[in-house]
Amino acid sequence: MTRHIFRLTYFKNIETFLRDGLVFAKNHPSAQRCWRTSYPDIVHRRGRSFFTPDQDNINDYVPFYFSPITSMFYTIHKGNVDLKGPDDICYGKASQDGIVFLVCNTDRIASQGLPLWFTDIACNSAFIPNFENDLSKLSTHVDWPLFEESFSKARISEIGYRGVHWDFTSKDNPMEYRNRDKKRMAEFMIKDALPMDLVDCIVVHNNGIKQQVETWMQASSFSIPVYVKSGCYF
């Protein structure tokens, strides 16, 4: 069964990705100077302390989540994360309005034979994640019932994505909700770079961002659909 994966980024980065035709990993020699909506200390720790089973640093990979509704996106929405430009200047707090998602599916990734890993929790969790690179095990490696308790958020019917359960938070009871926030941030990682021709669609929050992304798209060699999907946002 194919699964959809979501790469969160700031909308202005789309122009760069379309120009280059690739989204490079942070450690790549050609890594792009991008707008950033992340915690620098976490990015630094990921680049220093976390490795795949073959001893690659996880910043050698382009990371995705298995849904757009995550605790990281929620903390951006709440105004807790700085927006930093390619010049490393802080432009205030990031908001969900400027966030877009590159959406891919695992079948197309597999067809290209790209080196990859996926995990059962966020790579930078206090708990050690379990890594797997055999896509035939994806159906059991990720705790899908936590994603599929309902399909109340984030439906993208155009690509067959049914959506995800709205609640990603952890609770003591019932027991299966313990560490739910970390399990809902299980990662799918592609080595070195994501080719833009493997992107099924780009999801945006409003028509203004859609028009800007489509302007960049028309100036590129790509024709990736751009969808306004408020259900992918808070």
State pLDDT tens for residues 160-197: 999 999 999 999 999 999 999 999 999 999 999 999 99
| Opening angle at CA 230, ends 225 and 232, nearest 5 | 80
The residue behind tokens 């789309």 is 14
Q: How far is CA 72 from the centre of its chain?
A: 10
What are the C-alpha distances in Å from 131 to residues 4, 37, 117, 171? Answer: 18, 25, 6, 25
Closest to 145 in 3D by CA, of 163, 117, 165: 165
What are the C-alpha distances in Å from 147 to residues 70, 117, 185? Answer: 10, 19, 10
The pLDDT value recorded for residue 43 is 86
The pLDDT value recorded for residue 77 is 98
Catalytic residue among 36, 46, 180, 184: 46
State pLDDT tens for residues 47-65: 788 999 999 999 999 999 9
What are the C-alpha distances in Å from 146 to residues 15, 102, 179, 186, 232? Answer: 34, 22, 10, 11, 17
And the tokens for 130? 């379990």
7 annotated ligand binder? yes
Closest to 206 in 3D by CA, of 232, 181, 183, 225: 232
For residues 81-88, average pLDDT: 98
18 annotated ligand binder? no
Mean pLDDT, the chain, integer: 97
Assess whether pLDDT exceeds 90 at residue 1.
no
Catalytic residue flag (residue 46):
yes
33 annotated ligand binder? no
Catalytic residue flag (residue 36):
no
155 annotated ligand binder? no
And the tokens for 110? 């597999």
For residues 198-210, average pLDDT: 99
pLDDT band (50, 70, 90) for residue 144: very high
The residue behind tokens 């770079």 is 193
Assess whether pLDDT exceeds 90 at residue 125.
no
For residues 116-130, average pLDDT: 94
Catalytic residue among 36, 132, 184, 187: 187
